[in-house]
Amino acid sequence: MLGLIAFALAWLLLTWDALKFRVVPGPVKTARVHDRAISHFKVGAERRTHGRTGVLIYLSMQEHRAEIVADRPIAEQVSAEVWGEAMADMLVEIRRGCVAEGLAAGVRDVGQVLAEHFPRSADDENELPDRLIEV
């Protein structure tokens, strides 16, 4: 009987999402978010633009993590430190509770990086949707 009670309590605690996410170690959360960001990028943006200039800003509210993923030509020219600066600008606002402003800052910074390394040509057209996708 005691075993059944212990099982029921453990099951209830593990089904409580807030607690479940608190006990997951930070590196595991980071790896999960990174893997999900890569997966979503591969499905939705990778190799879908003429110059392979797709970028995904992935924000996981549950794990409190974010990722910026870019197509290979961008990743080869833009260092991780540059994306880190964009991420820092974004997270300053998000930590204040201003998620929309944080995402806008991230988009602004990514746009500046792209404009510097991949300037827009006269015949350029937007090949990917510029919209928030919530999953």
Q: What is the pTM of this model?
A: 0.78
CATH of the structural domain 25-117, one choice from 3.10.310.50, 3.10.580.10, 3.40.50.620, 3.40.50.11540: 3.10.310.50
| 66 touches 60 (CB < 8 A) | yes
- Is residue 23 predicted with pLDDT exceeding 90? no
pLDDT at res. 19: 65
pLDDT, position 67: 92
Domain ranges of the chain: 25-117
**Using 50, 70 and 90 to split pLDDT, how confident is the model at 18?**
low
Q: Are 103 and 132 in contact (CB under 8 A)?
A: yes
What is the DSSP secondary structure assignment for residue 132, as one 8-state letter?
-
**Residue 91 and residue 84: Cα distance in Å, rounded?**
10
Instruction: Please state, in angstroms and rounded to a whole number, the distance separating the CA atoms of residues 126 and 73.
Output: 17
